[in-house]
Chains A and B, each alone.
Chain A
Amino acid sequence: MSSSSYEPQNKVAKWVEDRLPVLGLLHGTVGAGYQAPRNLNYWWNFGSLAGFMLVVQIVTGIILVMHYTPHVDMAFRSVEHIMRDVNYGHILRYIHANGASMFFIVVYIHILRGMYFGSYKAPREVLWFLGLVIYLLMMATGFMGYVLPWGQMSFWGASVITNLFGAFDFYEGMGDSILQLLWGGYSVDNPTLQRFFSLHYLMPFVIVGVVILHIWALHIPGSNNPLGIDAKGPADKIPFHPYYSAKDAFGLAFFILFFAAFVFFMPNILGHPDNYIEANPMVTPPHIVPEWYYLPFYTILKAIPHKLLGVIAMFASILILFVLPWLDGSKVRSAKFRPMTAFFFWLFLVNGIFLGYLGTKLPSDIVFHVGEMGVDALTLGQIGTVFYFAYFVVIVPLVSRTEKTKPVPTSIAEAVLGSKKKG
Chain B
Amino acid sequence: MLKNIKKIGLAALAVSGIIMGGISVASAAGDSAYPLKKNEWPHAGPFGKFDKAALQRGLQVYKEVCSSCHSLDMVAFRELSALGYNKEEIKAFAAEYDYADGFDDEGEEKTRPGKAFDYFPAPFASEQEARDSNNGAFPPDFSLLAKAREHLSIFTPWASVYGEDYIVGILTTYHEEAPEGVEMVEGASFNEAFSGNQIAMAPPLSDDMVEYADGTPATTQQMAHDVATFMYWAAEPKMEERKEIGFKVMTFMLVLTILLYFVNKSVWAKLKRGDED
Contacts and interface: CB of A to CB of B under 8 A. Distances in A.
Describe A's contact surface by its main secondary structure: helix
Interface stretch (B147-155, B176-184, B210-218): B147-155
B274 A417 contact: yes
Given A90-B238, A249-B260, A273 B149 contact: yes
A249 B152 contact: no
A346 B8 contact: yes
Interface in A49-91: 77, 80, 83-84, 88, 90-91
Contact of A354 (B13, B16, B26, B143): B16
Contacts of A260: 246, 249-250, 253
A88 B79 CA distance: 15
Contacts of B261: 250
Contacts, number: 123
A354 B155 CA distance: 13
Nearest to B26: A368
B100 interface: no
B5 interface: yes
B12 A276 contact: no
A257 B20 contact: no
Given A257-B253, A264-B243, A346-B12, A243 B267 contact: yes
A366 B23 CA distance: 10
Contacts of A419: 1
Contacts of B5: 41, 116, 226, 336
A250 B154 contact: no
B243 A266 contact: no
Given A80-B144, A367-B27, A91 B274 contact: no
A246 B274 contact: no
A349 interface: yes
Given A90-B242, A249-B263, A274-B148, A349 B12 contact: yes
Nearest to B247: A264
Interface string B198-218: 000000000000000000000
Interface in B1-28: 1-2, 5, 8-9, 12-13, 15-16, 19-20, 23, 26-27
B267 A242 contact: yes
Interface string A235-250: 1001000110011011
A216 B26 CA distance: 50
B242 A250 contact: no
A38 interface: yes
Contacts of B195: 286
Interface of B: 1-2, 5, 8-9, 12-13, 15-16, 19-20, 23, 26-27, 46, 74, 79, 143-144, 147-152, 154, 163, 195, 235, 237-238, 241-243, 245-247, 249-250, 253-254, 256-257, 260-261, 263-264, 267-268, 271-272, 274, 277
Given A250-B263, A260-B253, A265-B243, 10 more contacts: A41-B2, A90-B241, A253-B260, A264-B250, A270-B154, A349-B12, A350-B15, A367-B27, A368-B23, A368-B26
